[in-house]
Amino acid sequence: QAYMARKTRTIAVLKSTGAPDRMIGQIYTLQLTLLAGGASLAGAVVGGLVPWLAPMVLPPVYAVLVQPGVYVLPLALAIGAGMLVGLAIALWPISQAAEVKPALLFRDFASQPSRGWPRTRYLAVSLVAGVGFCLLAILAMPDRLIAAIYMGSVAGSLAAFTLVAWLVIALARRMPRPPSPRLAMVIAGLHRQGTLTSIVLPVLGLSLTVLVALSQAEHSLRVRFLNDLPEVEPSFFLANIPSSQG
């Protein structure tokens, strides 16, 4: 979205020279698809090198036992997931950027009308890419039920935080103007045109949710591990002794 915001005036110049919306959408969709593909490929290469580099980098005390090799299926899944995420995220701002009017060159950006939902074809492809990523992540996991529950929880949390953001914007818009100019500017910044409230609040909420979930899981595992330890531990162990000599 930030990348497309920097290209707003360039798109306005293209529109003023007669470029149709479809051509602009195709140009930037291809451009961002190549960027997502390159980033996914680079990530797959780095991830494929980790099994070869881990035994050399980590100290022997960790006793990392790996079998270095080229595993095609995991690498293909990683590249496919990266491409699907890139498409799901990029198509929305591309559709909004294609709506830029040539008159933007002659007035300030803040005077542009509010950008609503993207066009139907962009929204459909974005939803298909998002659903495809979720299905790919679920099918790639050994325990698909846990993966499905995780994906559903993330989607539900994101929807809940988005609803909270819309409620905050609606309440801020209906609040009476306070006498303090600073407080009035703060409240206006929550609902004015181009505000990031609907983006920042869900992202922060989802990030905190993940942190809390990880801390709870780590605490649960630690308590379970400590409770399973015997009160009196042997000082030495004997292994590979036949039962007849035990």
Q: pLDDT tens, 32-53?
A: 888 888 888 998 888 888 878 7
Check residue 214 and give its pLDDT: 84
Cα–Cα distance list, 102 to 16, 20, 72, 113 (Å): 5, 12, 47, 13
- Cβ contact 54:66 at 8 Å: yes
Provide the 3-class DSSP secondary structure of residue 233.
coil
- Cβ contact 115:73 at 8 Å: no
Residue with tokens 């935080």: 161
Check residue 91 and give its pLDDT: 80
pTM of the model: 0.64
Check residue 18 and give its pLDDT: 78
| End-to-end Cα separation, the chain, in angstroms | 69
pLDDT digits 0-9 by tens, 54-84: 777 766 655 556 677 777 888 888 888 888 8
**Average pLDDT of the residues of the chain:** 78
Rounded to whole angstroms, the Cα distance separating 114 from 173 reads: 15
The amino acid that residue 74 corresponds to is P
Check residue 104 and give its pLDDT: 61
Percentage of the chain with pLDDT > 70? 78
Q: At what angle do helices 21-57 and 8-16 cross, to 10 degrees?
A: 150
How is residue 131 written in tokens? Answer: 């659903």
The single-letter DSSP state of residue 138 is H
pLDDT digits 0-9 by tens, 96-109: 777 777 666 555 54
Check residue 111 and give its pLDDT: 45
Please choose, from the candidates 137, 200, 194, the residue with its C-alpha nearest in 3D space to the C-alpha of residue 165: 200
Check residue 163 and give its pLDDT: 92
pLDDT digits 0-9 by tens, 119-162: 777 788 888 888 888 888 888 888 888 888 888 888 888 889 98
Check residue 231 and give its pLDDT: 67
Check residue 167 and give its pLDDT: 92
Average pLDDT of the residues in 181-187: 83
